[in-house]
Amino acid sequence: MRVFNRALATIIAVVLIAGSAIGILYLIGLLTGTPALTQFVQGWFQAIAQLGIGGIQAILLGILLVSLLLFVLEVRPWRAQFITIRDDDTGRTQVRRADIERYLMQRLSRERAITTDSVDVIVYGDRFDVATSVSASTGADRHQVRDRVEADIKSNLESIGLDKELERMGTRVQRVKRAA
């Protein structure tokens, strides 16, 4: 949806620039007394005037409604905010996605040789995925770092009772040259 909104914004910007250029041409035509420039612009105004007030209001109302719809779709949170831990006849227990992300970032930052760049939790109802991005020194083995980070995530989720809800885990390891 964001790509569509950006393309639409580009089209609107081009239309506004073209409208400004036409307005400047009309102003130059009026100031210099050149009828060719003013007649060109007056032709556009006559086409719009034939729509009438009701037609113009309907077009503006349509533009307003489409703009509001696109705005709501753009700012709407796409990711689920809660993970359902337990849902039975006694009630529902949920944990916020952001709290789990902060908890895992805090736990992973205790490692000395690894710098945690980001932890993202993607929620699917009562199941979720964890995507982690870490930086390690250039001398570290990527597979060992990845295995260690994923084991730490699993053990931390197990300690708070969320290990069964974990569906997939992805870890991206970047190499960083450390200063001596």
Instruction: State the residue for tokens 């597979």.
Output: 143
Predicted pLDDT of residue 178:
54
Burial bucket for residue 83 (CB in 10 Å: 0-12, 13-18, 19+): buried
Torsion of CA 27, 30, 35, 36, to 10 degrees: -10
Q: Give how far Cα 118 sits from Cα of 28, 159, 174, Å.
A: 56, 21, 12
| Whole-number Å distance between alpha carbons of 172 and 9 | 34
pLDDT-based confidence at 125, cuts 50/70/90? low
Q: Provide the token pair at 10.
A: 């580009």
Q: CB of 118 within 8 A of CB of 132? A: yes
Residue predicted with more confidence, 123 or 91: 91
Q: Which domains does the chain show, CATH number per domain?
A: 2-75 (no CATH), 82-176 (3.30.70.1350)
Q: CB of 135 within 8 A of CB of 115? A: yes
Pick from 26, 21, 23, 22: nearest CA to 38: 26
pLDDT, tens only, 18-29: 888 988 988 888
Average pLDDT over residues 123-147: 77
Q: CB of 69 within 8 A of CB of 75? A: no
Pick from 69, 31, 29: nearest CA to 45: 29
Mean pLDDT of the chain: 79
Best-predicted range by mean pLDDT among 23-37, 130-144, 156-170?
Answer: 23-37
Average pLDDT over residues 40-53: 79
pLDDT, tens only, 72-113: 877 776 666 777 777 778 887 777 888 888 888 888 777 666
| Whole-number Å distance between alpha carbons of 132 and 150 | 9
